[in-house]
Structure 1
Amino acid sequence: MKPSGTGHDRRERLKQLREAALHRPVPANDYTHGFTGRWSRRQWAQASLLATMAALTAAIVPGFGDRPTTRSHSAQMSMALPLPPMPAPGEASAPQQQWQTVEIRKGQTLGAVFQQMGVPATTMHRILEQPGAEQALTRLRPGARLDFEISADGELRGFRYLRDRDHQVEVTLADGEVRQRTIELPREIRSRAITGEIGTSLYAAARKAGLSPAAIATMTDEIFQYDIDFTTSQKGDRFSVVYDEVWRDGERIGTGEIQAATFTTGGKTYTGLRFEHDGKAGYFDLEGRPLKKAFIRMPIPYARVTSGFNPSRKHPVLGTTRAHRGVDYGARTGTPIMAAGDARVSFVGWQRGYGRTVILDHGKGHTTLYAHMSRFGNFKRGQRVKQGQTIGYVGSSGLATGPHLHYEFRVNGVHKNPLAVTLPPPEPLKGQALVAFRAATAPTLARLQQVEDRANRASAIARTEDAAPASDSKA
């Protein structure tokens, strides 16, 4: 039995078609490159490359698409933040103001400063009308500072100045009114101790050590004026002082009170300690006895003795031998003369060769005479005067060869040498007052002792160094 023609014919037809396909010419642009039914290595490599590129494209391209719109349901939290306060109505448009400081230059007037700041003279005069303003502002010194608060539209809104070193005055100008208030400035008190030795003069040595002229005057005219005649001080005399310094904002603005002082002259040391007793401050010695005595030793500060107490001196004008029963102090015409103590004026007028003369009665038989004045002080006979008050001025009236003060000291009518007379000592502190004095002055006294010990050690070392070369040369 023959196989079915239909199946045989079909197989034959397929075979012929395959053969025909194998022998058909390949066009130039056919990408099979003459495919033979089996892939070559080159075709496998190309296929692998295309497959890799397709995979990469599938992985990367979705990332550039739109992000998914669905959100995760993660937990969320909210926080309330405070907002800045809203400006009050009209506040945002208010002009800003600022303080400006002007330092007074030499020769500059107050009016020139206000003109420089663009402030009208009428406003300046309204400020000067305030209590105490004119006295302070018309005496400004170079270096003084004035503060101006100027608004954005050029109007003066505030003004500040120092009334003194401890008080500031602040002036406010608003709604056509001028108001001022006084502010007490904070300050710091620091203690300082210095020591020195007189060379050419006490003043030069004290200034070199750091004392101000006011502190020097306190030492000579208040602390030791009753015990020491500074006109006789000489080279080698020593002094030590503990005093206050006033500081503000890290800057020294001045000196305060002398808390303690010593002065060594003629082999004797005098000490003064400041202490407040019965509401009044004064200086006391180490035993608590007040240094202020009934009489001042010198009625003219810083005067020089031109003629001392001499029972048989030859008169410079008359040429005869006459007793000089007082002390002459040479000074310039017009130098103030102080009352030696509290007294009543018993005589004021012209007295023969004494010229213009004042005699004071201090009670208990003590009187003092002041002669050769150029003019008198503002007082009359019978009036009371206080110790240190000016009773007249140095001159050369009467029998005088030049301007000087002739000063006499009498006890019950008997002339005494003013430079050597023994004055009655005041009563010392007692009881609780003495205890309080010692407790209050102990720290200052210790500080004074420390600075003197250092000075003594330094002097001893200097003497040793000076003596060393001499001893070596002898050896």
Structure 2
Amino acid sequence: MIRDYKRSASYISNKRRHVRPLFLLAVPLALTATAVYATFQIMEVPNTPTIAANKPAVDTIKLTLPIPAKNNPASTATPTIAALQLESNLAQLATPPAPPEATIETTAPTPSLSKKEHRIRSGENLAIIFSKLGLSANLLHRIVNSNKTTAKLAHIKPGETLHATMDAKGNLHELVLEHSAIRSLKILPEGNSFKATEVERQLEPRTTHRLESNIAQLTIPSVPPEDITETTAPTPSLSKKEHRIRSGENLAIIFSKLGLSANLLHRIVNSNKTTAKLAHIKPGETLHATMDAEGNLHELTLEHSAIRSLKILPEGNSFKATKVERQLEPRTAHATGTVTSSLFTSAQQAGLSDKLIMELANMFGWDIDFALEIRAGDRFSIVYQEDFLDGDKYRDGPILAAEFINQGRVFRAIRYVDKTGHADYFSPNGKSVRKAFLRSPVDFRRISSRFQKSRWHPVLGKKRPHRGVDYAASTGTPIKASGDGKIIHRARKGGYGRAVIIEHGGGITTLYAHMSRYASKQHRGSRVKQGQTIGYVGKSGLASGPHLHYEFRINGTHRNPLTVKLPAANPIAKKYLADFKQQAAPLIARLDVLSKTLMAEAPSN
């Protein structure tokens, strides 16, 4: 035994003799352990060290070394590292990082974009909207003048939404005019110009039930009656929903989207005459519903506009409706300008809305023919009212005072509202700026034929007198009564075709010919007011194209409608004259200052 062998005296005295058997025993044991360990290392290459990397997700590298030969004493220490497993960061050992110069950017960095939107309200124009969106008037001018498609941007309507996408420097990236949920006009920059595309989304057709006129017959089972019992919790948890009404929708569809039942709809519209007005919905309006945690209606509001709404509240087993109208804050503003190419363009550049421009033209339309008499260098100054809601401009109010200088002639008008609520415009001395007759009873493109003793008739092919003025206009353009009076003829009249004759008093009559059709709800003997539509442009009778033939007669004698001196309307009543002058004084003083400033800023010739 080894133990007895070590204790013997001969082992101690003769060490060299007994060490060799111990060494011979250690070598086989080491070789056996190495073989067993190598068996568990599946990968083994006899003569070449290899690095085997498993899946990229495992940060482990296995190093397998060859087993030394038994007869090589120099390699007796090698088996201790024959199968060494190294833990390392695979990302640093397997794949060295690429140098910075080896990386190439293939795409430009995405610019930081911001989006703004504005829902168009009644009375607003593009100049106001662009200003609110932080876009310049110059940009607006470039867009609408790029091409016919981009010019459609000017045809905005209340209820539509304008979306603007801009980069960090304020440059326009995209402009979208959303007509409805399915139709929009998309405008993109294209070099120094702009490109517009009309986008229309495809609808998914489905079959649904239609709400019949008799709402009592609705059978849309959305919520069982027992689930809509009115509760009277003192402090219920309320939730709010809203829906913007679109074209083609009805209340049954809207109530279903808001999670309200058809039974509730029936109860509301049949409560009383005021709640029944809920059925008179229009596209662009918004319906707001406030409900408690159990789905019971707490409040329903039909928002007609930002200032007008219909509020409906539960009242016992019925409902109560109230009309709500918010008060606007009036403020005074002014604008001045000089005509360069046209009044409309120059007034827009001065910041006036389309409404104010038309009001200015109508105000002085009895003295100035804005289609024929406007000249470059004409000047205008106006003081007008702006209506604000919650600190933001809501709309333009009326013109309070105005001055127009046409070819050296100065015209001024002051607005006055008497105690009966009647409003009109008067000169500073109290005379009405409105004449008893309109100079042009139609919005025309051009005068195709003037008043003359003899002209070549395009249809008859011979010369004959032309005792009126022909205004060329598109078929269907409204024709307005030039003054107050009574219709004494409303039928076909020979070569005049469909014609209307109005008697105004004082021996004055006016004739309107070649109509395509008459205005509804009028007949012979009807009374009409100045500016009221009496028919529409056409080419009935002896006419070569659509136009209005207009005649002005005094005691049966034809007069030239373009040059005849028109009688003025009644001046301000004497009982209001003192009050008028008191209100007009500060407005006249303001016009004086604006006129002097505009004249000083005008370029010298």
TM-score (normalizing by structure 2): 0.56
Which residue of structure 1 lines up, in the alignment, with residue 487 of structure 2? 345
- Given the superposition, is the C-alpha separation of residues 302 and 212 from structure 1 closer, same or farther in structure 2, using an over 3 Å criterion? farther
Tell me the distance in 2 between the aligned counterparts of 1:137 and 1:239: 46
Superposition deviation, residue 137 in structure 1: 6.4
Which residue of structure 2 lines up, in the alignment, with residue 408 of structure 1? 551
Tell me the distance in 2 between the aligned counterparts of 1:211 and 1:449: 20
Match of 1:447 among 590, 595, 598: 590
1:208 paired with 2:349, answer: yes
Match of 2:339 among 191, 198, 215: 198
Tell me the distance in 2 between the aligned counterparts of 1:135 and 1:449: 49
Superposition deviation, residue 190 in structure 1: 0.8
Superposition deviation, residue 387 in structure 1: 2.0
Tell me the distance in 2 between the aligned counterparts of 1:450 and 1:346: 49
Tell me the distance in 2 between the aligned counterparts of 1:92 and 1:296: 63
Match of 2:364 among 178, 199, 224: 224
Letter in 1 for 2:258: M
Tell me the distance in 2 between the aligned counterparts of 1:121 and 1:322: 70
- Given the superposition, is the C-alpha separation of residues 372 and 169 from structure 1 closer, same or farther in structure 2, using an over 3 Å criterion? same
Tell me the distance in 1 between the aligned counterparts of 2:558 and 2:233: 86
- Given the superposition, is the C-alpha separation of residues 384 and 251 from structure 1 closer, same or farther in structure 2, using an over 3 Å criterion? same
What are the Cα deviations for residues 425-460 of structure 1, in whole angstroms up to 9, with x where unaligned? Answer: 344336552221111122222333333333222224
SS in 2 for 1:190: strand
Superposition deviation, residue 125 in structure 1: 4.3
- Given the superposition, is the C-alpha separation of residues 178 and 234 from structure 1 closer, same or farther in structure 2, using an over 3 Å criterion? same
Tell me the distance in 1 between the aligned counterparts of 2:281 and 2:484: 35
Letter in 1 for 2:555: N
Tell me the distance in 2 between the aligned counterparts of 1:206 and 1:121: 52
Map 1:303-452 → 2, pairs under 5 A: 303-377=445-519, 378-429=521-572, 431-452=574-595
Query: Is the Cα contact below 8 Å between 1:101 and 1:145 reproduced in 2?
Result: no
Q: Which has the higher contact order (CA 8 A, sep 6+)?
A: 1
Tell me the distance in 1 between the aligned counterparts of 2:487 and 2:454: 30
Tell me the distance in 2 between the aligned counterparts of 1:193 and 1:356: 45
Q: How many residues align?
A: 370
The farther-off stretch of 210-219 and 104-113 is: 104-113
1:151 paired with 2:270, answer: no
Which residue of structure 1 lines up, in the alignment, with residue 75 of structure 2? none
Tell me the distance in 1 between the aligned counterparts of 2:274 and 2:470: 44
SS in 1 for 2:458: coil
Which residue of structure 2 lines up, in the alignment, with residue 178 of structure 1? 319
Which residue of structure 1 lines up, in the alignment, with residue 396 of structure 2? 255
Query: Is the Cα contact below 8 Å between 1:193 and 1:448 reproduced in 2?
Result: no
Query: Is the Cα contact below 8 Å between 1:95 and 1:152 reproduced in 2?
Result: no
Which residue of structure 2 lines up, in the alignment, with residue 104 of structure 1? 244
Superposition deviation, residue 318 in structure 1: 2.5
| Structure possessing the higher radius of gyration over alpha carbons | 1
Which consecutive residues of structure 2, in runs of 5 or more, have no partner in the other structure? 1-230
Which residue of structure 1 lines up, in the alignment, with residue 27 of structure 2? none
Superposition deviation, residue 422 in structure 1: 0.7
SS in 1 for 2:543: coil
Tell me the distance in 1 between the aligned counterparts of 2:278 and 2:563: 46
Percent identical residues: 39
Letter in 1 for 2:542: L
The farther-off stretch of 313-322 and 279-288 is: 313-322
What are the Cα deviations for residues 147-166 of structure 1, in whole angstroms up to 9, with x where unaligned? Answer: 32211222211112334554
Tell me the distance in 2 between the aligned counterparts of 1:282 and 1:275: 6
What are the Cα deviations for residues 214-237 of structure 1, in whole angstroms up to 9, with x where unaligned? Answer: 33333333x223222221134433
1:296 paired with 2:442, answer: no
Match of 1:162 among 286, 303, 310: 303
Query: Is the Cα contact below 8 Å between 1:263 and 1:269 reproduced in 2?
Result: yes
SS in 1 for 2:582: helix
Tell me the distance in 2 between the aligned counterparts of 1:137 and 1:272: 44
Which residue of structure 2 lines up, in the alignment, with residue 71 of structure 1? none
Letter in 2 for 1:384: R
- Given the superposition, is the C-alpha separation of residues 125 and 201 from structure 1 closer, same or farther in structure 2, using an over 3 Å criterion? farther
Letter in 2 for 1:249: D
Letter in 2 for 1:422: K
SS in 2 for 1:231: coil
Which residue of structure 2 lines up, in the alignment, with residue 283 of structure 1? 425
Which consecutive residues of structure 1, in runs of 5 or more, have no partner in the other structure? 1-90, 468-475
Query: Is the Cα contact below 8 Å between 1:370 and 1:406 reproduced in 2?
Result: yes
- Given the superposition, is the C-alpha separation of residues 388 and 93 from structure 1 closer, same or farther in structure 2, using an over 3 Å criterion? closer
Tell me the distance in 2 between the aligned counterparts of 1:367 and 1:182: 45
Map 1:52-201 → 2, pairs under 5 A: 94=234, 96-98=236-238, 100=240, 102=242, 104=244, 109=249, 111-129=252-270, 131=273, 138-142=280-284, 144-201=285-342
SS in 1 for 2:260: coil
SS in 1 for 2:371: helix
Tell me the distance in 2 between the aligned counterparts of 1:167 and 1:335: 32
Tell me the distance in 2 between the aligned counterparts of 1:205 and 1:127: 52
SS in 1 for 2:585: helix
SS in 2 for 1:219: helix
Letter in 2 for 1:264: I
- Given the superposition, is the C-alpha separation of residues 347 and 184 from structure 1 closer, same or farther in structure 2, using an over 3 Å criterion? closer
